[in-house]
């Protein structure tokens, strides 16, 4: 599959999935400004949506504002707590519904996640004629999702440009 500069692109980012992948693999966080640029790849941006889970702390408010400032529409959901101390927060259904609604207006949907639960969505979007790019860290991405995607962009290969340096992270904490 080739990339054309006239392609209309929608970028849907599973922030929690990306956050934990970067943290577990590299001990740092993603530079979402660089991620947006990499995902867009000089094509026409129609929508860029970041799906986040809110846990009510001051740092996340600044982060959500940053996402908005660099060009993301931020969709926010509260972390749900259950009896026994278990908590859950994911956007799988929301991302799927948005992708299906946007499909007729886009040539490409870039799913920024490694979650294999999105494989049926990728199959459906491809059936509708939409090219699907999966963008994530290969070490934490479902093999089936990688195989199903039209294009897989391995963020491990771009770690130097899309990850915040651990040193800078430590300085921010001081």
The helix/strand/coil state of 168 is helix
Tell me the per-residue pLDDT of 38-84, one tens digit each, with 9 for 90 and over.
Answer: 999 999 999 999 999 987 777 888 999 999 999 999 999 876 666 66
pLDDT tens digit string along 1-26? 567 889 999 999 999 999 999 999 99
Closest by CA to 15, choosing from 46, 55, 45, 42, is 55
- List, for residues 103-130, the tens digit of each pLDDT value: 999 999 999 999 999 999 999 999 999 9
Given this model, what pLDDT does residue 84 score?
A: 65
90 band by pLDDT with thresholds 50, 70 and 90 = confident
**How is domain 8-79+89-173 classified at the architecture level of CATH?**
3-Layer(aba) Sandwich (3.40)
**Residue ranges of the domains in the chain?**
8-79+89-173
Mean pLDDT of 135-163: 97
With a cut of 60, say whether residue 138 has pLDDT above it.
Answer: yes
User: For residues 53 and 173, what is the distance between their CA atoms, to the nearest angstrom?
Assistant: 21
Residue 58, pLDDT score: 77
User: Which segments of 8-133 does DSSP mark as H helices, in order?
Assistant: 15-26, 32-40, 58-70, 92-102, 119-127
Whole-number pLDDT of residue 3: 77
């Amino acid at each position: 599959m080739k990339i054309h500069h006239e392609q209309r692109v929608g970028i849907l980012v599973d922030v929690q999935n990306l956050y934990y992948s970067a943290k577990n693999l590299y001990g740092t966080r993603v530079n979402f400004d660089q991620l947006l640029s990499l995902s867009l790849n000089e094509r026409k941006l129609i929508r860029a949506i970041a799906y986040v889970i809110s846990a009510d702390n001051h740092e996340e408010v600044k982060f959500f504002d940053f996402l908005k400032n660099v060009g993301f529409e931020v969709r926010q959901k509260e972390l749900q707590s259950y009896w026994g101390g278990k908590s859950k927060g994911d956007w799988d259904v929301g991302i799927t519904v948005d992708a299906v609604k946007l499909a007729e207006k886009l040539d490409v949907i870039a799913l920024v996640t490694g979650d294999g639960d999105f494989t049926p969505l990728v199959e459906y979007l491809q059936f509708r004629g939409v090219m699907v790019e999966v963008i994530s860290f290969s070490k934490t991405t479902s093999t089936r999702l990688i195989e199903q995607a039209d294009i897989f962009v391995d963020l491990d290969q771009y770690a130097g440009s899309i990850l915040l340096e651990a040193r800078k992270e430590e300085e921010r904490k001081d």
